[in-house]
Structure 1
Amino acid sequence: MHEVQVTTLPHHHQLTNAQVWSADGLCLVYDRRPAQHLFTSQTVEKVNVETGQVTEIYRATQGAHVGVITAHPHDNDCFICIHGPEYPDEFWQYDIHHRRGVILSGGKATTIDACDITPPYTVGALRGGSHVHMFSHDGDRISFTYNDHVMHQRSLEEDQRNVAIALPHKSVSLRNKAPREHDGSHFCVVVSETTLHPQPGSDQILRAFEEGWIGHNGYLTTSGHWQRWALAFIGETVAFDGRKVPEIFIVDLPDDFYAYTQAGQHPIEGTERHLPAPPAAIKQRRLTFSEGAGVALHPRHWLRSSPDGSKIAFLMADSAGVIQLWTISPNGGLPEQLTEGGHNVQSAFTWHPTGKGITFIYDNQVVIYDFEQKSLIAVTARTSRAPCAEAVVWSPKGSKIAFMREIEGFRQIFTVAVTESYWC
C-alpha cells in the first residue's frame, strides 16, 4: 500500500488517539504541541487529506493554550479540545488540575465542565481539570479523565485521577463565582470510584484512566438486556504483595438524567475532604483478574470497544512478556489473545467502523488485525524507525488510516488507503 504524507510544514502535528477525522472523512484535526508533555500549542487546526489545505479551527488568547482535539462523529463543524487557563500566573497555570474542555464551533469555544473550587460546591460542576474528551458514537455525551484541584491542595498524595462524563441535559451556573471558577454548558459527574489506600487484593482502585465508550449503542448483557450506555476504563488495583496492577473495569450508565442527580454514599459534588462521587445508580465492576503485571501501560493506549459492543480491546503482556493485543467481553469472562508474534504491539489502536479489524503499529509497520483471517495484514512498509505510537486511526468509512511519522525532527501526518480488494 502507498502511504501519503499529508502535512509538510516545519512544526509538529499531533493527533489524538481517536476521533481525529472530520465526520465526512475529508479532514484530520491536530494540535501543534512540540511534545506530548509540553502543552504550549496556541492553535488547533485541520488539514484536508486530499488537498493538504490547512485551516485554523481555533486560536487561544490571553496566555492560554489548547490541544488534544477530537472531532464530533456527525457534525463537520464541531470539535472538543483541552483549554488551558487564561492569564496564567504562579498560582494557577496549566497542569492536570487547571484545564477544561471546550466545544469548538464556528470559531468560538464553549466551556463544557463548570469549575467550582470554593465550598459550598455545585452539583453538576467539577473542581479541577479535564482531559482527552471523547464523544459517544452519537455525539450526545462526552467522556474524559479528571483530576481534582481541591484534594490536590490538601496533599499531593490525594491526587487521584478519575473518569467523568458530561451530559448535555442541563447547563451549570455557579453562584458567587470566585476567581478561576466558571460555568459549564454540560452537567458533569464522576463515574469511577477511587480509594486513597486500596486494600491489597481487593477491587478497590487508586486511579481510573484511559476510558472508552462501549459500542456504538452499548452492549448486550448476559441476561439479554441491552445496556445503552457504558464506559470501560483502566483501574489501578493493589496486589497482595503491594504491586500496583492495572485492570479493566466497567460502569453501566443510566438512561434517565434524574439518576445522575441522586447521590450515593458521598455527595456528587464532593466535599472539602472527599472527591466528587459517582451517583448512587453507578457502580463499577471489575472485568480482568490478571495473575501478572495486568494491563500494559506502555505503550500508552485507551480501551476501545468493537462497534457492536461485544469486545473491549486492550494491551497486555503474554506469558513471555511480549505486549499483545487482547479482547474481553463487557460481561466479563476470560480475555482472548489476538496477536501471538514475538514483537510488542507498539501503539494505541482503533477499530474498523464495521468491527472487522483493528489497526496499530507492529514491527515498525502500520498493520491490521483481521478478525476473519485471524492474522496481521501490513499496510505500510517496515521502516528503521516506527511511526509515532499515540495515534493510528481509521477514517469514518474505513477506507484510510491516519498516523504520524517524525520527519526531520517534526511530527508529520500520514495516511494510507486500505481498499476492499487488499483487505479481502
Structure 2
Amino acid sequence: MQSCQTDTAEKQITHDLSYHHDLDNNDNFSPDGRWLVYDTRTDEGGIAESARIERVNIETGEKQVLFDIKNNGVWGPGAGAVSYSPKEHAVVFIHGLTNSTKENPYQQWRRTGVIIHDDRPNVPVYMDARDVTPPYTPGALRGGTHRHEWSGDGQWIGFTYNDAILKALEDSTGQKHNLRTIGVSKKVRAVKVDETAENLSGEWFSALVVRVVPNPAPGSDEISHAASDSWVGTTGYLIQSGVRQIARAFLGTVKDKNGNDVPEVFIVDIPEDITQPGPLGPLEGTDSDFPMPPKGTTQRRLTFTANTAHPGCSGIVRSSPDGSQLAFLAKDAKGISQIFTISPNGGKPRQITECTSDVTGNLRWHPDGKHITYAHEGSIVLCAVNDAPFEEKTQVLTEPLEAVPSNLVWSADGRVLAFNRLVKNETGKATQQVFVLSLK
C-alpha cells in the first residue's frame, strides 16, 4: 500500500486527559466543517454518566458546552451519542429520562432524542414523543431511541429502538420480547401526549419501520434484531423505475436452517407519509407487540451468507453518497474480514478490499463517493472503490500506533478526517481524544 500525501500530520485538538471526548461513529462535523461535537461518557457508567455534550473548534481548539446536566448521577439521566444536522447548526443526541434513579436508571428503553441548536445551549427540543400509558399515541413511541442520524435533507432522523412495554412483558412472562429494531422521525408535526415523569411530548412524528419477531423461522427472512443502520444516500437511491426512494440499510439477524443466528444486510424502503398505519397493525403498537411500520414500508434482505462457509455480515452498513452502493464487512473465502459492497436494488456483493488480515471496521465513505476509509492493523486506510489492483488503490493515511484510531468521520467537503485515539495521562489512564487529518 502507498502512503498518502497530507497537508499536515494528524493534529490532536482536544487535550483534557481527565475525560473522554467520544465521537461514537456519528456525524460529528458542523455543516461548515469548523466544529466537532462529542459526548463525555465514562468507562464505568457509559452514556448514563455523560453529563455534557461539547463541541471543539478544529482550528483553534476552543471548546463550548452545548448541553450540561446538573447533578447527573452514575445512573443517569446521561446525554450521549451526538450527531450534527447536515443542514442546520443543530445536534441530536440521546437523553435519558430525567427521573432516572439508582432503582430505575438509564436503560435502552428509558431514553429519548433531544435536539440542541448550537446558538441556544441548554434549551432542549424533545424530538420523539414517548407514551407508555395505554391507550398509546400514534406518532409517539413507548421506549428508548438511540444512535440518532439526520438524513441528507435534514427532514428525517433515523435511530435504533428498544420498547419499554415489551421489556416489561418479557420480565413478567420470561419469554423473549425485548428486541432491538429501527425507526424514523420526520419533521411533519408535533405529537402531544399526557406528560408524566415517563411520558414526553415530541416535536417530530415517529414510527418504527422494521419488523422484528422473537423467534424467526429457520431459513426465512424474518429477523429478531435490527441495528447497525444508516440512511441510503444523501437523497435516497434510484429504484429500477428511476425514482429516488428514501431508505435505511441495516443488519438484520436471521436464523439459518439449523437455527443459528446470522446477521445479514437488509434495506427498508420508507414512504414519504409515515402517519398512515400499515397492514401489520397500529402505528402505536399494543400491549403485546411493537408499534408497526407505516403503510408503504417495504423490508428486503440483500445478502444471503447463512449457508456459506463463513456466514454473517458486520459493521455499520454505510451507503455511498449517491445511494448506489452499500458497504459492509463480511469474511472472504479465506475467512478474513473484508469490505464488500452491494446495490440497494440487490444482486451479488462485490469484494473491495483484499487484506491479509481482518479489516477492523470504522467504514466511512469519502464524500466524493469514490473512496472508503477504514481501520486496518492500527492505521487508517483510504481505498478507491474501483477495479484497479488492490495495492494500487489503497493509501495508508496514519502510521500504526498502539493507540489505534476509531470513530472515523469526514467533513462534508472531504478535506478533513476526524477520529478518536486513546491518550494516556500521567497515571496511565487513557481517555478518548479528538484528532484531525487534513488531506490534499
Normalised by the length of structure 1, the TM-score is: 0.93
1:48 partner amino acid: N
User: What is the alpha-carbon root mean square deviation over aligned residues?
Assistant: 1.6
In the TM superposition, 1:149-228 aligns within 5 A as 149-156=164-171, 157-175=176-194, 177-222=195-240, 224-228=241-245
1:87 to partner: Cα distance: 3.0
1:162 to partner: Cα distance: 0.6
Larger CA deviation: 33-42 vs 325-334: 33-42
CA contact (8 A) 2:302 2:344 kept: yes
- Give the alignment partner of residue 382 of structure 2, picking from 368, 371, 379: 368
Alpha-carbon separation, structure 2, partners of 1:295 and 1:240: 14
Residue in 1 that maps onto 2:43: 35
**Aligned CA distance change for structure 1 residues 145 and 386 (closer, same or farther; 3 Å):** same
- Give the alignment partner of residue 265 of structure 2, picking from 236, 248, 251: 248
| Correspondence 1:276 to 2:291 | yes
Residue in 1 that maps onto 2:115: 103
Residue in 2 that maps onto 1:341: 355
Report Cα offsets for 1:104-158 as digits up to 9, x if no partner. 1111111111111111110000000000000001111000000000000011521
1:329 to partner: Cα distance: 0.2
Residue in 2 that maps onto 1:3: 10
In the TM superposition, 1:270-309 aligns within 5 A as 270-290=285-305, 291-292=307-308, 293-297=310-314, 301-309=315-323
In the TM superposition, 1:44-123 aligns within 5 A as 44-61=53-70, 63=72, 64-75=77-88, 77-105=89-117, 106-107=120-121, 108-123=123-138
CA contact (8 A) 2:140 2:207 kept: yes
In the TM superposition, 1:120-139 aligns within 5 A as 120-139=135-154
Alpha-carbon separation, structure 2, partners of 1:131 and 1:295: 24
Alpha-carbon separation, structure 2, partners of 1:392 and 1:241: 37
1:91 to partner: Cα distance: 4.8
Residue in 2 that maps onto 1:13: 21
Alpha-carbon separation, structure 1, partners of 2:317 and 2:280: 28
SS at match of 2:347: strand
1:285 to partner: Cα distance: 0.7
1:50 to partner: Cα distance: 0.8
Report Cα offsets for 1:194-235 as digits up to 9, x if no partner. 11110000000001111111111111122x332331111110
CA contact (8 A) 2:251 2:313 kept: no
- Give the alignment partner of residue 312 of structure 1, picking from 313, 326, 349: 326
1:356 partner amino acid: K
Alpha-carbon separation, structure 1, partners of 2:265 and 2:232: 13
Residue in 2 that maps onto 1:396: 412
SS at match of 1:73: coil
Report Cα offsets for 1:30-61 as digits up to 9, x if no partner. 11112396121100101111111111111123
Alpha-carbon separation, structure 1, partners of 2:104 and 2:293: 27
Structure 1 outlier segments of 4+, above 4 Å = none
2:434 partner amino acid: I
- In structure 2, runs of 5+ residues without a counterpart are 1-5, 425-429
CA contact (8 A) 1:402 1:416 kept: yes
1:62 to partner: Cα distance: 5.8
- In structure 1, runs of 5+ residues without a counterpart are 420-424
SS at match of 1:348: strand
1:401 to partner: Cα distance: 0.7
| Correspondence 1:416 to 2:424 | no
| Correspondence 1:231 to 2:248 | yes
CA contact (8 A) 2:98 2:197 kept: no
Alpha-carbon separation, structure 2, partners of 1:209 and 1:243: 18
When the two structures are aligned, how many residues end up with a matched partner?
Answer: 409
SS at match of 1:303: strand
Larger CA deviation: 58-67 vs 47-56: 58-67
Residue in 1 that maps onto 2:427: none
Residue in 2 that maps onto 1:140: 155
Residue in 1 that maps onto 2:369: 355
1:347 to partner: Cα distance: 2.4
2:193 partner amino acid: L
SS at match of 1:152: helix
Alpha-carbon separation, structure 1, partners of 2:84 and 2:149: 8
**Aligned CA distance change for structure 1 residues 51 and 183 (closer, same or farther; 3 Å):** same
Alpha-carbon separation, structure 2, partners of 1:36 and 1:192: 32
